[in-house]
Each structure stands twice: as structure tokens, then as C-alpha cells.
Structure 1
């Protein structure tokens, strides 16, 4: 029996193992010949070694993760079409904006029968005020989504709000089926429950973008420290190449003021979660935030926003608290509530772990995706 040739299209090498590693393994277990197309993967990196060990074939593509250079984007489109024809792809799945758009179009042009897309979040162009550059980007990306998604057999979403928005904006034709999965999932065997630290401490893991709520986190930390100066607020992440990025000067000011303890970019975030008692993500919008799932799996209470993607992870008052978007005082109030109730922190952390096992186990999520793609 001939193996199905499955091509996964990505824009960021680091995501292949961290976010899609279990999916790749599930595809291999299902008998697929798996290829990945990604720009800029270092052949000497741990990621490349891991993919090679799995017998996954890696293809470099000229895709820029950010920016809207039409010449370069067209080059990526036709490179993908050529690759799909060369390997005889039977199934193509793209995730994040450019792989979804150009992967879908290339698969259509290459005559690939089974074309899928995974919407993992809406990004800079869909969040915040639609003015200036953001308005131009939003209009362009919506047009590209509308054209490319109509070529797919199935589109996966990670929360119902994103699916509803795409339908409301007519970015999806009524005939195109969709399916909402529970995020990217988390390996509950890898992210295990850890005891709580003696002193209350908060943690945010994110690219340092305004839309991730990093500024609100710093503002809330300053408010809390007025009453509880001993409480620690840690931040893990990096300044991204993005119009919405936090400036180095802002970050330096928070650090010098003693508001934030900055840990930089970590290849393994588990030690940082172990050292925290509460995980915080004040994001304006997500697909389903992977960092929240990791913290939940490790038994942490969560404070996040009542925003698409985020609100799915927290039952307010059960495993954490939901706060309004861009509301630092409300965020600080929830933080102080948990500082004053350590027993509640422990109980909420236990509920988070249970929810991670029941709803967000990566193997359950991937089993659903393979079933819906007709691979099992």
C-alpha cells in the first residue's frame, strides 16, 4: 500500500517540534510519509536533528515570516507549488498566516487533492484599532484569506470566536467545512504537576508585543508591588520583529524599576513555571494560547483575558480568573485576590491540571485532526 505524502507548511522552525512535534509523530504513526516546508532551519540545529531522527524530510522555502513584499511572497508561492509537485503531495496543511495563504494556493495550483488549513490565531493585522498600516494589512490579509481558504477541503480553528469572525467577514464560503479543535494541545506527560513555591510569584511567557498584554502585565505588577513589594513578577520572551513590539527602552525601564524580573527567551519554560504560583496572560486575542496550556498542565492557576482563545482556557473562579482586555487595574485586583488566598491558588491549580488532561491532551487533539483529515 502506497503511503500518503503529507506536507506540513510552517513559517518558523522553532514551532515544528514544540508545537507540531506530536502531530508529526501522529502522522508517521498513521503511515504517512511526512515532509515539512519551512524557511531558515539550521541544518545543524536540534530541531533538524530531531526531524531527521523521525525520518521527516525537510525542505527550505523562501518564505518571509513577516512583511508583505509581493515579489518575495510570489516566489514562495511558486517554490511551494514546485515542491508539492516534486514530492507528489497528497495532503497539505499550513498553519499561521503565510503558510495558510500561500500553502493553500500552492496546493490548489499543484493539484493537491487534500488541502487543509489551521488558523492558530489572527495576529497583528486583526487586533487593535484598524488605523494606518494595520488597516491596510487587515484589508489585504482578509482578501488573501478569502481567496485562499476557498480552495481548502477543511479549515481548522482553535476557538469558536475566530471561526465565527471568519464566517461573519465572509472569509470562508458557506460550503467550506470547518472544525474547532482544542488548540495545539499539550503533552501532559511532559508537563507534569509541580509543587507551588513558598512565596507568591507571577509569570508571563510571550513574545514581547503590545497585543500580548505585556504592558498591562507590567502596569499591574507596579500596582500590586505598592501593597505587596515582596511579590515577584517574571517575564519570559523576546522582542520580536513586529510593528507592535515592546521597545528595549520600555523593557529596560521595567527591569531597572524592579517591577519585572526578565528571564529572556527560554528553550524550556518548565523551570520558570515551577518557580511561579500563578500564570498570567493578558493577551488581546489568541488562537488557544499554548503557554496557558503548559501552565495548566503543571498545576497552575491562570489569570487571562475574557478574549477569544483565552476565555476557553479558564472557567472564571474555578481554575483562575478572567479579566477585561487592556485593564491593568482589574488584572492587579485579581492578582491581589490570589496573593491573599494561597489555598485558592492550590485548588485552582488542581482544576487546571484536570482540565488539561480532559480537554487539552495533545494526543486527543491530534487524533481529532487526523480523523477529520481522513487519515485514520
Structure 2
């Protein structure tokens, strides 16, 4: 008997490649899995690593009516041709287009996972448009999955849908490979070599940020706070791992100047394997304005790092105040400074947070538990196929 077909979609292939790493290969043992997104090197890597079929359909992240219509038609024709039993989307635009196309192509099970919501952080006309788009998405989906409790609460409070909302496992779209994200995977020799290359000394306290270097990630506030931290604690360092996005969400000019001029700020760009950088850091600082269920915070925790995070969806579920990190208000430079200062000054407090960090992730977000829960969900929906 041939395996049932599942098509997984995302707007860009990077989401499939990073957010669902390993999951598609696991599911392919039970289903015929096809990955659909825009065509680039990430999609090729998904095909090679996950050993699944891929199909390229370009989708725009921004609102682009004409291009969106073309993508919608292409998705509809592809779903009609392939006749999958399930289409399961992540990311906003892929969700909207895939759910509409799948419904009219006659796909019986149409699943969307909300990995994050954009509209709560927007205002005015743009917010109303984004809410309307998510309502249309949910109208065309048969099953809706918020990635965490915070995302679920927002979907309910903004009345996006009246359909049941189910959180799979403890939240998060893929869980964490706690064997891979383990500080023991990086030798002391490798750590010392990287420290030497970056000019980090043995006694330095290294804060790390991993992600896109954009305004929405709280980078402007982080840099302003660290400017004060570095004046008070000369042995503090800030390690920035990620790319600038000058078009979508550029940083303030004074922020860029401080990054380039402050000798205690080290920017290394995008890094494929972030474990090496986590291994030489002392704490993650992640002052984002909005998230779904951030992998970075879980990765840092698995690498035994406590975190300073903002009180937003996902972050405030992974981090328990004064247990494995600190939870601070959004867009608050003073709060970031106070949290960073406390970690540097209070050694006993810091060590307590560090001791609890990995345990929190292993106990709640181990990858195999998440994958099995997703597989069980697919199996439970087969009766509708």
C-alpha cells in the first residue's frame, strides 16, 4: 500500500531548512513528504539532507497582490496535480496561500502552524490587513496549531478564529536536538582557538545575541544598553551572530556606529553552526519585540546558557524568571542594562541560572518527543482522508 502524501510548505526555503531540520526525514519514513517553498540553495539542501521530494514555488514575504495571485495559482495547480492527503504550512504568507489553494484543490486535511504572529506588534491599517489575512487563512484551514500558549492567547484575544486551537507537545515546531546542542560537542581547544581569533580573554563575560540584526529583534535597545554595560564593566563583551537587513528593518544609524566603533562589540555575521559561539559565551540576550517560539532561546539553554529575554510569546514560556534566566519588558533599554549588570555582578545568581538552563530544555523540548507528537497528530487525522 503506497504511503499517504503530505506537502509541507513555507514562504522561503530557509524556514524548512532551519526550523524543520531533521523532522521531514523522520516523517518521510511514514509518509511521502514533499517540501514546497521558494527555490534557492536552502531548498536544495533540504532535498539532499532530508531525502524528500521538493518543488519550487516562489512566494513573497511582503504583501504583493499580483505576485501573490501568481503564487496562489501555482500552488492550486500543483496541489490539484499531486492530490496530497495533507497540506501543512508554516510562516504567514505560505499559510495564507497554501490553505486557500489546498481547499479549492480538494485537499481534505489542511493544517497550519502559527510559528509567530506579526499583527500584535503593528498598529492601524497594517494591523487590520494582517488580522484579515490570518482570518482568511484560518477560514480555509481545517486544523490550526499555535506554536505556544502565547500565540494561542493572541489568536483568541484578537478573535482570529473560532476553530479549536491545539498546541502540539509543549510548543515549538521542531523541538531541540539536545545531543547536538551540547557544550561538550565543542572541545576546549576549539573554544580557546575561537576566543583567540575574536580577541576574547579568559576573564571576559560574553553576552551573545543570535538572530537577524534588525529593529524588531530589539537590537537598538540592546546596543544602547551594552554601551553603558561596557563602560561599567570593561571585561564585558557582546557577540552578535547574524545578518543585518538594511531593506526590511534597518537599525538606527547611531546603533550601527556603536557596533562599528565599540571594541567590546564583536559582529561575526551569519554562522551556520552557532554552537561554537554559544560555547564561548556566558549568557544569551534576546530582547525581541515578537516571537512565536524562538529556537535561539532553546538552543542557548541546551548549551547551558541562561538567557535575558523580553516578556513575549515563547520567550516567557521557555524562560522561568530567576530559574533559568530573566524576563524583562519589551523595548526597555534600562531593563536590558539592569539584567546584564545583575548577571555580571552576582556570580552566585548567575551560576544558579546556568545550572538550571540545560535541564529546563531537556525536560520539556527534547526533539524526539516533538516529532512523535506531530506524527501522532497526522495519524489521528487520517480518518478524514
Give TM-score scaled by structure 2 length.
0.88
- Deviations, residues 281-323 of structure 1 (Å, cap 9, x unaligned): 0111211111111000000011111222211111111111111
- Deviations, residues 162-181 of structure 1 (Å, cap 9, x unaligned): 21221222211x23443254
- 1:353 lines up with 2:358 in the alignment: yes
Equivalent residue in structure 1 for 2:121, among 120, 124, 127: 127
Match of residue 52 from structure 1: 48
Equivalent residue in structure 1 for 2:63, among 45, 64, 68: 68
Contact 2:183 2:275 in 1 (8 A): no
Equivalent residue in structure 2 for 1:94, among 71, 77, 89: 89
Matches within 5 A, 1:260-279: 260-279=265-284
Equivalent residue in structure 2 for 1:319, among 317, 321, 324: 324
Q: Distance in 1 between matches of 2:108 and 2:245?
A: 36
Equivalent residue in structure 2 for 1:83, among 70, 78, 88: 78
Cα pair distance change 1:189/1:329, threshold 3 Å: same
Equivalent residue in structure 1 for 2:134, among 112, 124, 145: 145
Q: Distance in 2 between matches of 1:211 and 1:62?
A: 25
Cα pair distance change 1:101/1:83, threshold 3 Å: same
Match of residue 188 from structure 1: 178
Give 1:138 shift.
Answer: 1.9
Contact 1:283 1:310 in 2 (8 A): no
Matches within 5 A, 1:193-204: 193-194=183-184, 198-204=203-209
Give 1:25 shift.
Answer: 2.1
Contact 1:152 1:176 in 2 (8 A): no
Match of residue 295 from structure 1: 300
Contact 1:150 1:176 in 2 (8 A): no
Match of residue 207 from structure 1: 212
Cα pair distance change 1:50/1:143, threshold 3 Å: closer
Cα pair distance change 1:33/1:59, threshold 3 Å: same
Cα pair distance change 1:12/1:258, threshold 3 Å: same
Deviates more, 1:176-185 or 1:73-82: 176-185
Cα pair distance change 1:150/1:176, threshold 3 Å: farther
- The 3-state SS of whatever aligns with 1:191 is coil
Deviates more, 1:281-290 or 1:148-157: 148-157
- The 3-state SS of whatever aligns with 2:2 is coil
Give 1:370 shift.
Answer: 2.2
Q: Distance in 2 between matches of 1:360 and 1:349?
A: 17
Match of residue 221 from structure 2: 216
Cα pair distance change 1:98/1:347, threshold 3 Å: same
Match of residue 35 from structure 2: 36
Aligned residues: 364
- The 3-state SS of whatever aligns with 2:309 is strand
Write 1 or 2 for the structure with the bigger share of helix. Answer: 2
- Deviations, residues 75-125 of structure 1 (Å, cap 9, x unaligned): 1111111111222211111111101111111110111011100111113x4
Match of residue 156 from structure 1: 145
Match of residue 2 from structure 2: 2
Give 1:35 shift.
Answer: 0.5
Q: Distance in 1 between matches of 2:178 and 2:48?
A: 25
Q: Distance in 2 between matches of 1:242 and 1:309?
A: 26
Match of residue 197 from structure 2: none
Q: Distance in 2 between matches of 1:101 and 1:166?
A: 15
Contact 2:17 2:45 in 1 (8 A): no
Cα pair distance change 1:175/1:292, threshold 3 Å: closer
- Deviations, residues 222-257 of structure 1 (Å, cap 9, x unaligned): 111121022101111112265433257732432213
Gap regions ≥5 residues in structure 1: none
Q: Distance in 2 between matches of 1:162 and 1:297?
A: 23
- The 3-state SS of whatever aligns with 2:363 is helix
Give 1:127 shift.
Answer: 1.2
Equivalent residue in structure 2 for 1:340, among 326, 345, 350: 345
RMSD value, Cα: 2.1
Match of residue 179 from structure 1: 167
Q: Distance in 2 between matches of 1:188 and 1:228?
A: 33
- Deviations, residues 135-167 of structure 1 (Å, cap 9, x unaligned): 333222211211221222211112212212212
Matches within 5 A, 1:224-239: 224-239=229-244
